[in-house]
Each structure stands twice: as structure tokens, then as C-alpha cells.
Amino acid sequence: MATMHDVARHAHVAVSTVSYALSGNRPVSRETAARIRRAMEELDYQPNAMARGLASRSSHTLAMTFPSFDTAMGETVFEIIRGAQKGAADEGYRLAVWPLEDDNAGDELVALVRQGTVDGVLLVEVGVVDRRVEALSAADLPFVMVGRTADPTGLAHIDIDVERTVDDAVGELYRLGHRHIAFVGRPELQEAAGYGPAVRGHEGYLRAATSRHLTPLARACEATPEAGRRLAHELWVGSQAPTGVVVMNDLAALGLLAGLRDMGLEVPDDVSVVGAVSSPTLGAMTVPALTTTHAPGEQIGRTAAAALIAILGKQADPSDFHELVACSVVEGQSLGPAPSPVP
């Protein structure tokens, strides 16, 4: 494998000149730069991100971290990762997904940045109280939250507008005449741990129901089809069984629909179902196709990476970047008018 020294010999220049050409730290003549590029191509030299950043004391690497508890990552999270990788690459950076234990995550992230291993951090799956945020803020190090804490004032963040998305879903069911609307949320462990979307989804539903003078019926559910199937049998009994349900848990939604079929209930004739903060892929997997609200995960990831790089380059201040992203509706066949009461 070719090295920077090999490139320098092939181009008949000093090693430091190759370094300057890569980092841009000092001007290199157009003719010399072209000669270095030709040498790199002929030797198939791939500049190491760390070596490229030595002169500028930059690793040209961004770290992306998640909490260790089971978040049952859906398609949106993988879209965020993919978008962040593309956004970083557009600016000559690399993205490293960095697993850390929760107890020491804040200290380890501070060490990663201070040691020069990474230049900044993208925090995903942010809690309403998040020790990673506290540690990086105290150390005055660069980071962007994909999500947000309870009070994100002055902190760079981009997040899905979960509350609005859930309210819109409840509102659409209400418009269709439903007055018994249930909410199936994330696992109880996530809400207890303060995981932002789990907390905001539940709270958003309670506000949406009470503002329309509805009796709330919210259930946490493990992120498995089996748990969703069991929940269907628990909820759809008695005279107050819901005629509409908002599901913010993709895997549970699959089981929920299967459980309704087990009980002889038809969607949407007997029960209407909408997937909140979900994906078109989920809708395509169900019968009937589930109506979902989809967050643009790839756009979110790309925007977060670009914001972090702008902060690193002193082109933006963290307090300048705060954005809530709306979900778009992907139409399916799972919504219909509330069924008429049986005489």
C-alpha cells in the first residue's frame, strides 16, 4: 500500500509539500498540486483522514453515538445514519458510529474529542435529561443533537416534531368521527429512561386527547410483533374498546394488526389504525397497507452533519441551529370513518 513518502518520491517533492496539498494549510502551486494528484492516482494512494488533518490538528472524523438501552431502532434511525454519512462525506469528513456504555459515555466522548480522535459528536436518541449532553456542554466541545433535551436552549439540535405528528394523527381520527382513540407507544423501559421520542409521544397524545375532550387510553408496548398481538386482545374488549388507534412502535404495529384479524375485526371498517413517526416500508408490509407519517431521516442526518461541520469551521454558532422537522403522511388503506354503534 502506497504511503505519503511514496507519493512524494514519485512526484519529486518533499513529504511536507504533499501534506500541505492534502490539508490546504499552506499554498501549493497549481503545477505542483497537479503533479501530486497524478502521483496519487498512479500509486492508488488513499489519504488517511488522520494524516490529512495533522497539519490542521483535525481528524476529519465525526462520532455518532447512541444510548445502550434497547431503542428497537426503526428504519428512520438507519436513514439518519445514512444521511449523516453522506453529509460528512460531502465535506471531506468521515463518520464513525461509536458505541459507548451509558455510565461513562459523557466522559469518553469528552476524551475522544480532546485527544483528537474525532472533531465533534452527533448525539442520536437523546434523552430529556442526557448525561452525554451535560458532559460535552461542560467541556465546551462541539456537538449536535439529533433529538433534544427538555431544555435545548443554546444547544444545536434537529429533531422530529413528535408532539405535532401525534396530534395530527389523533386529529385525523377525530375528524373521521372516532371518539375512542388509543395510543400504543414505545417500550416502558424507554420512557422510564427518559428517551425523548417515547416521552414526547406519550405526552403529545395525552394533550391531543384531553384538548378534544376524549378519555385517554395510552399503553406502552414492547417492540415486538408478539407484544402488539397480545395488546390487541387486551384493548379490544368491552364497550369502550377503541375504534381508532395511533401506533408509535413499528414492530408492535405488525402484531397489533395481526391480533385484530385474530379477533375478527376488519381494518378500517371496524378499527382505524395510523402509524406515527413510522416509515413507508412498514405500510407496504401490512394488509391492508398502513397509513403512516414518515420523518425524513436521511435529510435529518445530512443536515445534522452539515451543521456540526459548520460549527467546527466557526461558520455557525450552536445557538443558531435549532430545527423541528414535520412528518409527511404516506397514504394507506387503514383509515376510515368511525363505525356506527350497534343498535
Give the model confidence (pLDDT) of 24-40 as tens digits: 556 778 788 888 888 88
What per-residue confidence (pLDDT) applies to 339? 93
Q: Is the pLDDT of residue 55 over 80?
A: no
Distance from C-alpha of 319 to C-alpha of 300, rounded to nearest angstrom: 18
Q: Is the pLDDT of residue 341 over 80?
A: no
Domain-by-domain residue ranges, the chain? Answer: 4-52, 61-160+296-328, 162-294
- What is the percentage of the chain residues whose pLDDT exceeds 90? 68
Q: Name the pLDDT band for 266 (thresholds 50, 70, 90).
A: very high
Distance from C-alpha of 250 to C-alpha of 72, rounded to nearest angstrom: 9
Q: Is the pLDDT of residue 181 over 80?
A: yes
| HSE toward the beta carbon, residue 10, CA cutoff 13 A | 20
What per-residue confidence (pLDDT) applies to 50? 46
Task: Return the DSSP state at 290.
Answer: P
The CATH classification of domain 162-294, taken from the options 3.40.50.2300, 3.30.300.90, 3.40.50.300, 3.40.50.80: 3.40.50.2300
Mean of the pLDDT values across residues 233-243?
86
Distance from C-alpha of 267 to C-alpha of 122, rounded to nearest angstrom: 40
What per-residue confidence (pLDDT) applies to 57? 61
Q: Name the pLDDT band for 204 (thresholds 50, 70, 90).
A: very high
Q: Give the architecture (CATH level 2) of 4-52.
A: Orthogonal Bundle (1.10)
Q: CB neighbours (10 Å) of residue 320? A: 12
Q: Do domains 61-160+296-328 and 162-294 have the same CATH topology?
A: yes
Stretch (H or E) spanning 75:
helix 75-90
Instruction: Determine contact, residues 276/201, Cβ cutoff 8 Å.
Output: yes
Closest by CA position to 156, among listed 311, 325, 327: 311
Domain 61-160+296-328 has CATH 3.40.50.300: no
Closest by CA position to 175, among listed 335, 341, 342: 335
What's the one-letter identity of residue 39?
A: A
